[in-house]
Amino acid sequence: MSEEPLSPITAAVIGASGFAGGEICRVLLEHPYVETILPVSRGSESFAERHRHLAASGVEFVEAGEAERCDVVFFCTPSGEAARGAQTWLDRGARVVDLSADFRFGDAATYRAAYGNDHPGPDLLAEAVTGIPELYRDTIARARLVANPGCYVTAAVLALLPAVESDVVDLAEVVRIHAINGTSGADATPQRATMHVRVVGSVLPYNLDGHRHAPELEERLTSITRQETRVDLAVAHGDFARGIYLQASVALRAPMTRDQLLQLYLARYGRAGDGEPFVFVDARRRDGGLNEKVYDVYPQMRDVVGSNLCRVGLDVDRRRAVARIVAVIDNLTKGAAGSAVQNMNVMFGFPEMAGLSRCGLG
Amino acid sequence: MSEEPLSPITAAVIGASGFAGGEICRVLLEHPYVETILPVSRGSESFAERHRHLAASGVEFVEAGEAERCDVVFFCTPSGEAARGAQTWLDRGARVVDLSADFRFGDAATYRAAYGNDHPGPDLLAEAVTGIPELYRDTIARARLVANPGCYVTAAVLALLPAVESDVVDLAEVVRIHAINGTSGADATPQRATMHVRVVGSVLPYNLDGHRHAPELEERLTSITRQETRVDLAVAHGDFARGIYLQASVALRAPMTRDQLLQLYLARYGRAGDGEPFVFVDARRRDGGLNEKVYDVYPQMRDVVGSNLCRVGLDVDRRRAVARIVAVIDNLTKGAAGSAVQNMNVMFGFPEMAGLSRCGLG
Amino acid sequence: MSEEPLSPITAAVIGASGFAGGEICRVLLEHPYVETILPVSRGSESFAERHRHLAASGVEFVEAGEAERCDVVFFCTPSGEAARGAQTWLDRGARVVDLSADFRFGDAATYRAAYGNDHPGPDLLAEAVTGIPELYRDTIARARLVANPGCYVTAAVLALLPAVESDVVDLAEVVRIHAINGTSGADATPQRATMHVRVVGSVLPYNLDGHRHAPELEERLTSITRQETRVDLAVAHGDFARGIYLQASVALRAPMTRDQLLQLYLARYGRAGDGEPFVFVDARRRDGGLNEKVYDVYPQMRDVVGSNLCRVGLDVDRRRAVARIVAVIDNLTKGAAGSAVQNMNVMFGFPEMAGLSRCGLG
Amino acid sequence: MSEEPLSPITAAVIGASGFAGGEICRVLLEHPYVETILPVSRGSESFAERHRHLAASGVEFVEAGEAERCDVVFFCTPSGEAARGAQTWLDRGARVVDLSADFRFGDAATYRAAYGNDHPGPDLLAEAVTGIPELYRDTIARARLVANPGCYVTAAVLALLPAVESDVVDLAEVVRIHAINGTSGADATPQRATMHVRVVGSVLPYNLDGHRHAPELEERLTSITRQETRVDLAVAHGDFARGIYLQASVALRAPMTRDQLLQLYLARYGRAGDGEPFVFVDARRRDGGLNEKVYDVYPQMRDVVGSNLCRVGLDVDRRRAVARIVAVIDNLTKGAAGSAVQNMNVMFGFPEMAGLSRCGLG
């Protein structure tokens, strides 16, 4: 925990015209310790036009110059901008949370392999801390610069953590992950593929040659497991605006029951109100025979949309010695802006749920 | 091809009150060689009440006795009914297409392992032919009894066939499959989990301990590849009524490009109008750099809903030597009733597209 | 009925890159008397790219010149093109069905009032026949030039016809209509308002200052009722790709029951298979007391999508002497391309259901 | 404003297993002055099972007896329970907010006409105050018993208020209203009509013979306008879980422009942050010519879901002298539980936005 007093702070948001930037503003509007929100946008639209759902909030875009005096800055910018700009903000004494991929890799070579170009500002790579409080809470509390993970990475790490931290997963087999993201995670430029008429009632797969969150996730899991961990990540957009539905399958080293595995998860994450504040293990009992369809014992995405929660549930396929895990998050909240504010809370010593206590809408 | 003349036939549908039974009637209404449709239902509702979208068709339920004189009978019944009843219909000279799981396994032991109870009528197991015309067209043409595969099995086999028939897949690694099905594939009894208010804007996973189509698919793939093939199948329902989106990942034995793999698929399935009549390979060119989101080069479910088509597309993750394949079908048509009628067409020597030529609605 | 023999014809589609043009091709692909489809597009995309769901059909765009020799031409073009071009096609001996608004008004002045500019080719206005077979079947059979009505007009006329043809409606009160259209009826140019992320789970009202189908509908109703009929038409797009849900309320001149009004509708439209081939009256019995929610006695849009059917249902609010009528159609089929082909069928003496017999998907 | 100090209170929720009851708990969880929530349910499910999205909140159902000592009680019960039980709670000193229809009518005769049975407890009818703070803020502040209006009534009153309070509407013509509600407003008992497979991609009209919110709305409008006001209300459920899209048309007494009417609305409701805290007038400028589709100048439902806001927008059809107004709310929040808590805030002298400051999710 930080030693700083809980005095109100000023937060700047660079690149505030996109979905993640808007979501940071939405979350900060509910934050008891954030007094001033300074969203910066290069576009010509007003804040109320750009973020219609926040039109009644009174928030307005500011000029870049006006945002210079702040306690924390969130980068929601295209690749490279945070890498080039973060040092300036650190020099001003601000903390930095970067939602882009600039500081997500431990070294410039991995970045280059994943993104195909040289890292635009590698000097700060060593200082940046990965923004997964469930893993790195103490380090984040001392950090000046936090790299917020990719949305799929957050969901996948939380889905897998209790299993891979223990010894139950056979990591010689690839970890296979399938995830469906809302269209708020898609490119914001109007184009035919993401028009309503094309996506409604359908599923839109993309980048099946390898999503760039995959190497990020492999680095993360390898760091956790201390052995090389390979990931097969397939992604698509579904017919919803917000949310990630992520299903992961891992090979088990030895037979175990669903209850045994659930116990591992409950032990790691705790139960509601007592443990990880934003991870909830869905441990409903599974009835029903072999021939029956069993619904409703796993987490459902709609129960987390609008919240910073990740809900995790699972089952074991005993014949194949496979554990199947489902994690659901709101891609804009826990998958981006909510995590970013959670990281801010940890960095500033605020209560970790400050501004983030809202439940899903159901 | 059968030697029989193309004279009009009478088709009975047992268990016609469910989604698959209604879909068979819908398809047969458009069939040039089916003169009479005899749907049998035990329920009290009229056909027009039960299948609202067919209310203007004039079709009505008949008593079981009225359906006895028919040329072909489709079983859309719960487990066991076809096993117990098929012989009677064969004795009457009818051909039988079973949409239940009764004849999907080669032997009673595998059935017992998958379904947990003894097979209710194993005598015909040896005679039953698997209803995948893309694999067994000639055998089906000579068959009296066809076992229509499970919806996920049809989609998965068509997704994988060109890859596993050739030598490019490393079958020592498990074949991982993730599939999202429409709610017309869910249990038809009203229950809370499948109410609109629970599914809209969400994803509903089910039976993650192992779907019973998995052993069926393993048996099928093992038969094709002649080596034991393991499958990791995870399923869920999505926020749509019709359709299956299936994504499969397989390990490649050697590096290959997307184009090379596409060529295998085009060679196996042909191009539009010249090759498999109901399989279409989406071979759009993939542009876009490593950092760009690339939409719209893979098949989309909405383009097949309402048709008997399976569209297949794919990509190669070269860093992981993984091929990712997407197959989309209408779960009620190609996934059930359309395949059943396609099998009927093959059995009776009708043109294979008879009654099934409709395109998707887009 | 036309005296022409049922010989196969060639159909050209001008402006075939849009939704309506694609839908005409889809319908004609299933038409037993249309041998050749010649879709003309100015765009650079191939037919298979533009109309993904028809990619397996083998249809391809042709040059404008190749389409000149045809028996019928469908205009799916922006305002003015049909007005300027129709005469040329008539001179070539082709029949013309115009899906644009060019020939929907009886005179150039009304057109000008509705569209704000001079009519670009008023000479043919007098010859053009309104393409509503349920009203003008005989005239259409003799016509060379048919003006296909706007999608809302078709739905509204079919919703209101039995009531306004009889003497039960008080036309001194405005006819109020609310309609929700699928996004395939929206502007096809990608723009923010019609991106999936904005429309999903929402409703998108538009042109509330007066939709241009309103004067068209007023002209039509005034012509039927022989007294000036005013319409209050409010429109929006819903979270679906295809379909129109239209609800109309009219003041009743005298008290009547739901059953009495239903009898009027059944008398006008007939019952399934015996009467208007594409209008189905949903006359399910209404149970339930005053305090109960009564679902499922009115037509549902999903039961007509993919078909050329209009389903109509209704109820009477006895305390207010108001009849509330619901009509549902597929906006692209009965609302545009299906009606156009139905008109073609009438013009050429084909069976009216030729190519249009498909039921909805349910 | 109440004179009471802002000390924390205890709130009981009777009938807390339904959607409205769950939503009250959700809102109160975020309320700074509500210390204890006591939800009472007769069902056997736990709170976490019943309200999945609140499973992580720690709230649990209590026995009825445990809820007796509270400062405010919310009735979310079937008709009659509040009428029979309210006096007991008032005698205990609690304030009562009734979300059922028991106290919505000024006298027992109107109730009987609307609901078909005698009022079960008419003694308190005279004391009950209608819970529309935008109209009756001062009276609510002094009330012991507040009747929360029906969801359609809240949306309709806010849509119409500035117009009918001024002199611009011709009330000799019926006020016509069309509203689409989310399925969280439908009957909660699983039944075929509200299964996902039936509602997805469709619209479900119901009770077209007269919704019982119509007489309630007529009484309210008649009270505001001091002349008899008739309403034609047509309702349906749409393919979304939460939200009401309401479109109202009224006849204008004299020609006026959209801008003039907007000014009336802005004058009545104020602008963001300065005026009615939960009503926002969407006054975006309308560009585009007569022939263009103009999207995005009216309010959109998705921008209020999850909030207590009502957004109102409008346009004028000058040729027909009709104003068309759109109001959007979250049916569970502003349409039920949010309004109830807003009323509680007014009754207890809390800041009116306490617990209700959340923006929509967009």
Give the model confidence (pLDDT) of C78-102 as tens digits: 999 999 999 999 999 999 999 999 9
Partners of residue A98 on adjacent β-strands: A75, A147
* The pLDDT of residue B1: 42
8 A C-beta contact, residue A128 and residue A146 = yes
D182 touches chain B (CB under 8 A): yes
Q: What CA–CA distance (Å, rounded) separates B338 from B28?
A: 9
Phi, psi of B137 (to 5 degrees): -55, -45
Give the CA distances from residue B86 to residues A1, B125, B128, B342, in Å, rounded to whole numbers and listed in that order: 72, 11, 10, 19
- Chain D residue numbers with beta carbons less than 8 Å from the beta carbon of C117 are 291
- Name the residue type at position B189: T
Q: Which two tokens stand for residue B107?
A: 């032997």
DSSP D130: E
* The pLDDT of residue B131: 98
A295, A314, A316: residue with CB nearest B206: A295
Give the CA distances from residue A141 to residues A117, A144, C258, D314, in Å, rounded to whole numbers and listed in that order: 31, 9, 70, 50
Number of B/D CB contacts below 8 angstroms equals 61
**Percent of chain C clearing pLDDT 70 (strictly above):** 97
B49, B51, B303: residue with CB nearest C52: B303
B288-341 residue pLDDT tens: 655 567 888 999 999 999 999 999 999 999 999 999 999 999 999 999 999 999
Answer whether residue D101 shows pLDDT above 60. Answer: yes
Strand B145-147 relative to strand B95-98, pairing: parallel
C57 touches chain D (CB under 8 A): no
> Residue B272's pLDDT band (boundaries 50, 70, 90)?
low
Phi, psi of D20 (to 5 degrees): -65, -40
> Residue A285's pLDDT band (boundaries 50, 70, 90)?
confident
8 A C-beta contact, residue D306 and residue D242 = yes
* Chains contacting C (3+ CB pairs below 8 angstroms): A, B, D
Are the Cβ atoms of C190 and A186 closer than 8 angstroms? no
C182 touches chain A (CB under 8 A): yes
Answer whether residue D2 shows pLDDT above 50. Answer: no
8 A C-beta contact, residue C156 and residue C173 = no
Q: How many CB atoms lie within 10 A of CB D65?
A: 8
B359 noted as active-site residue: no
* The pLDDT of residue B113: 87
- Helices and strands (H and E) in chain B: how many: 10, 15
Determine the residue of chain B that is closest to D201 in CA distance. B240
* The pLDDT of residue C294: 80
A49 CA: distance to closest CA in chain C (Å) = 12
Answer whether residue A277 shows pLDDT above 90. Answer: yes
End-to-end CA distance of chain C: 33
Residue of D319 and A2 predicted with greater confidence: D319
Q: What CA–CA distance (Å, rounded) separates A72 from A92?
A: 10
Place of tokens 């080669």: B106
D56, D307, D359: residue with CB nearest A272: D56
> Residue A274's pLDDT band (boundaries 50, 70, 90)?
confident
Phi, psi of B238 (to 5 degrees): -105, 180
Question: What beta strand segments (E) does A139-283 contain?
Answer: 145-147, 175-181, 204-205, 231-237, 244-251, 270-271, 274-275, 279-281
Are the Cβ atoms of A208 and B232 closer than 8 angstroms? no
Answer whether residue A167 shows pLDDT above 70. Answer: yes
8 A C-beta contact, residue C121 and residue C83 = yes
Work out the mean pLDDT of chain A and round it to a whole number: 94
Are the Cβ atoms of C200 and A200 closer than 8 angstroms? yes
Are the Cβ atoms of A57 and D358 closer than 8 angstroms? no
Are the Cβ atoms of A302 and B201 closer than 8 angstroms? yes
Task: Single out the catalytic residue among B25, B70, B151, B310.
Answer: B151
Are the Cβ atoms of D53 and A272 closer than 8 angstroms? no
Q: What CA–CA distance (Å, rounded) separates C74 from B203?
A: 42
Residue of C271 and D100 predicted with greater confidence: D100
Please return the burial class of B87, using the count of CB atoms within 10 Å of its CB with bins 0-12, 13-18 and 19+: middle
> Residue C288's pLDDT band (boundaries 50, 70, 90)?
low
Place of tokens 């901008």: A81
Lowest mean pLDDT: which of C41-50, C330-339, D155-164, D328-337? C41-50
B126 touches chain D (CB under 8 A): no
C201, C210, C258: residue with CB nearest D209: C258
D196 touches chain C (CB under 8 A): no
Give the ipTM. Answer: 0.95
Nearest C-alpha neighbor of D203 from the set B74, C302, B309? C302
Work out the mean pLDDT of chain B and round it to a whole number: 94
B247 touches chain A (CB under 8 A): yes
Q: What CA–CA distance (Å, rounded) separates A248 from A157?
A: 10
Give the pLDDT mean for A212-234: 96
* The pLDDT of residue A113: 87
B309: helix, coil or strand? coil
Work out the mean pLDDT of chain D and round it to a whole number: 94
Are the Cβ atoms of B56 and C30 closer than 8 angstroms? no
B272 touches chain D (CB under 8 A): no
Place of tokens 């990942």: B249
**CA quadruple A65, A71, A74, A79: dihedral sign:** positive
* The pLDDT of residue D289: 59
Give the pLDDT mean for B340-353: 97
Lowest mean pLDDT: which of B299-313, C123-137, D279-293? D279-293
**Percent of chain A clearing pLDDT 90 (strictly above):** 89
Active site residues of C: 151
* Alpha helix ranges (H) inside chain C: 19-29, 47-50, 81-91, 108-115, 133-142, 151-165, 196-199, 213-225, 258-269, 338-348
D194: helix, coil or strand? helix
Are the Cβ atoms of D200 and B186 closer than 8 angstroms? no
Phi, psi of A18 (to 5 degrees): -85, 180
Are the Cβ atoms of B298 and A205 closer than 8 angstroms? yes
Are the Cβ atoms of D359 and A56 closer than 8 angstroms? yes
Say if pTM beats, i.e. exceeds, 0.95.
yes
C237 touches chain B (CB under 8 A): no
B236 touches chain D (CB under 8 A): no
Q: What CA–CA distance (Å, rounded) separates A135 from A266?
A: 16
Determine the residue of chain D that is closest to B186 in CA distance. D197
Answer whether residue A288 shows pLDDT above 70. Answer: no
D193-224 residue pLDDT tens: 999 999 999 999 999 999 989 999 999 999 99
D332 CA: distance to closest CA in chain B (Å) = 13
8 A C-beta contact, residue D155 and residue D244 = yes
Phi, psi of A47 (to 5 degrees): -60, -40
Residue of C272 and B247 predicted with greater confidence: B247
Give the pLDDT mean for D308-335: 97
* The pLDDT of residue D273: 65
* The pLDDT of residue C60: 97
C112 touches chain D (CB under 8 A): no
8 A C-beta contact, residue B326 and residue B246 = yes
* The pLDDT of residue B273: 65
Give the CA distances from residue A312 to residues A129, A283, A309, in Å, rounded to whole numbers and listed in that order: 25, 9, 10
Give the CA distances from residue A297 to residues A266, A311, B206, B208, in Å, rounded to whole numbers and listed in that order: 15, 12, 8, 10
Q: Please spell the DSSP secondary structure of C144-200, one letter per residue.
A: SEEEPPPHHHHHHHHHHHHHHHTT-B-TTSPEEEEEEE-GGGS-SS--GGGBHHHHT
> Residue B231's pLDDT band (boundaries 50, 70, 90)?
very high
Q: What CA–CA distance (Å, rounded) separates A18 from A275?
A: 33
> Residue C114's pLDDT band (boundaries 50, 70, 90)?
confident
Q: What CA–CA distance (Å, rounded) separates B359 from C55?
A: 9
Q: What CA–CA distance (Å, rounded) separates B99 from B101?
A: 7
A54-92 residue pLDDT tens: 999 999 999 999 999 999 999 999 999 999 999 999 999
Are the Cβ atoms of A190 and C186 closer than 8 angstroms? no
D252-281 residue pLDDT tens: 999 999 999 999 999 999 986 689 999 999
* The pLDDT of residue C198: 96
> Residue D50's pLDDT band (boundaries 50, 70, 90)?
very high
* The pLDDT of residue A294: 80
Nearest C-alpha neighbor of C133 from the set C119, C143, C121? C143
Determine the residue of chain D that is closest to B19 in CA distance. D197
Give the pLDDT mean for B27-44: 96
* The pLDDT of residue A4: 52
Work out the mean pLDDT of chain C and round it to a whole number: 94
Q: What CA–CA distance (Å, rounded) separates C326 from A199?
A: 27
* The pLDDT of residue D288: 61
Q: How many CB atoms lie within 10 A of CB D334?
A: 27
> Residue A6's pLDDT band (boundaries 50, 70, 90)?
confident
B108: helix, coil or strand? helix
